[in-house]
Structure 1
Amino acid sequence: MRCVGAVIRDADGRLLLVRRGRPPGEGLWSLPGGRVEAGESDFEAVVREIREETGLDATPGELAGTVWRPPFEIHDYYATVVGGDLRAGDDAADVRWVSEAQLRLLPLTDGLLGFLDGLSGPPR
């Protein structure tokens, strides 16, 4: 099942995370994202998922990486916030900007920290 996620950092280098409100990963923190709907491009899905889960409008950029968690094939893209108001929505129980130190203290979805540590894209 094709999914997308977004790696979004603010001007202070904090990462945007959502706490999942439903399975899979209920209660865990993760990148905003979700399933690509029929007929939707990855970029369209990234924009929609960010808006639904965080209340923010964003522009997707280059592919940050792909993660395989059967049955999910997750394509994570760098993205930049261009508007909106931060609020948890859709299936997100909470949303927040987190620093590198805070990131390492949160209960994260399996493999997220390793994925983020392995990024070689835009500066963190």
Structure 2
Amino acid sequence: MSPSPQAASSAILERDGRFLLIRRMNPPSADLYAFPGGRAEPGETPEQTALREFFEETGIEARNPVLFATYDLNGDKDDDRHFFLSVFRVEADVGTEAIAADDAADSGWYSIEEIRTLPVPPSVLECAEMLAAIRDAG
């Protein structure tokens, strides 16, 4: 029986058709590129978690989180962790530069074409594809 899921949030910041991704240093998803995010702290709302984690991993003060997608992520046979992930779109000042910190080994801005070639969790590719489709339909 899997344990009850832990709450986690991530945040999508898009600029000029490129998405801010970090390369994760620690499990889960170590060495994968992902939207900045992580586990909720006691008493935090999903929105608060997304903004805090985004700041901790990029140094950017994001704002106006809008829920975009949710995922029930069950670990694989080697990892029994279970997360309920809330993915938010966020805004930030255009001039702010990302500085990889906390759990982030590296950060960068990637187009949907680049994301398709990177090692990313399935949820990241799915969200990026959905946003690109929305933008292209636009």
- Per the TM superposition, whether the score is higher than 0.5 is yes
Q: Give the % identical residues.
A: 34
The equivalent of 1:41 in structure 2 is 45
Give me the whole-angstrom Cα distance separating, in 2, the residues matched to 1:43 and 1:111: 18
TM-score, normalised relative to structure 2: 0.80
The equivalent of 2:8 in structure 1 is 3
The letter of the residue matching 1:61 is P
1:88-116 deviation line (CA, Å, top 9, x unaligned): 00011111111122111111123421243
Structure 2: gaps spanning 5 or more residues? 1-5, 75-81
Structure 1 residue matching 2:107: 3-state secondary structure: strand
Give the number of the structure whose residues are more often strand, by fraction: 1
Q: List aligned pairs for 1:1-124, cutoff 5 A.
A: 1-10=6-15, 12-70=16-74, 71-82=82-93, 84-119=96-131, 123=135
1:49-91 deviation line (CA, Å, top 9, x unaligned): 0111011110133210101112100000110113643110001
Once the 2 structures are TM-superposed, how far is the Cα of residue 117 of structure 1 from its aligned partner? 2.2
Aligned length: 123
Give the number of the structure whose residues are more often helix, by fraction: 2
Give me the whole-angstrom Cα distance separating, in 2, the residues matched to 1:66 and 1:29: 18
Give me the whole-angstrom Cα distance separating, in 1, the residues matched to 2:57 and 2:83: 19
Structure 1: gaps spanning 5 or more residues? none
Give me the whole-angstrom Cα distance separating, in 2, the residues matched to 1:122 and 1:77: 15
Give me the whole-angstrom Cα distance separating, in 2, the residues matched to 1:33 and 1:117: 19
Between stretches 38-47 and 81-90, larger displacement belongs to 81-90
TM-score, normalised relative to structure 1: 0.88
Larger Rg: 2
Between stretches 16-25 and 108-117, larger displacement belongs to 108-117
Change (3 A) 1:4 1:121: farther
